């Protein structure tokens, strides 16, 4: 089944490891085979990965788009999640779900679940700020 993607002017995305940038007008792409796709709104730069959970998301993103260095990205991921669970045991449930997806090689689904982890991290940080 084909996937129809509409890109806004100047929107970027990754398709099959290639960064694709749209021009000045809205465009529609039809992806007719199974290929890695990551829209700009889902891409996190290394610079913006500035919290423990955003760094986990970034590591998963690297697994998804950079298969040739998968072992390196897995090593980084497991170190990050170990540190996060030690510091915040309440994250274990979400991280366990992400781990299961990682072990099955379902990196895109793991990215979606990692967004939930980032949301949870933000909630916790907001509670800490309010109580301080």
C-alpha to C-alpha distance for 80 and 73, rounded to whole angstroms = 11
Kindly report the pTM of this predicted structure.
Answer: 0.91
Span 106-131, pLDDT tens digits: 999 999 999 999 999 999 888 888 88
The domain segmentation of the chain, as residue ranges, is 3-42, 52-131
Span 8-40, pLDDT tens digits: 999 999 998 888 999 999 999 999 998 899 999
């Amino acid at each position: 089944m084909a996937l129809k993607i509409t890109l806004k002017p100047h929107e970027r995305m990754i398709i099959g490891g290639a960064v694709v940038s749209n021009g000045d007008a809205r465009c529609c792409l039809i992806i007719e085979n199974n290929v890695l796709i990551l829209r700009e709104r889902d891409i996190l730069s290394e610079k913006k990965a500035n919290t423990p959970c955003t760094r986990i998301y970034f590591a998963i993103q690297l697994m998804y788009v950079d298969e040739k260095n998968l072992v390196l990205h897995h090593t980084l991921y497991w170190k990050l999640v170990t540190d996060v669970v030690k510091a915040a045991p309440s994250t274990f449930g979400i991280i366990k779900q992400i781990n299961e997806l990682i072990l099955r090689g379902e990196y895109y689904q793991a990215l979606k679940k990692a967004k939930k982890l980032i949301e949870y991290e933000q909630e916790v940080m907001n509670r800490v700020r309010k109580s301080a």
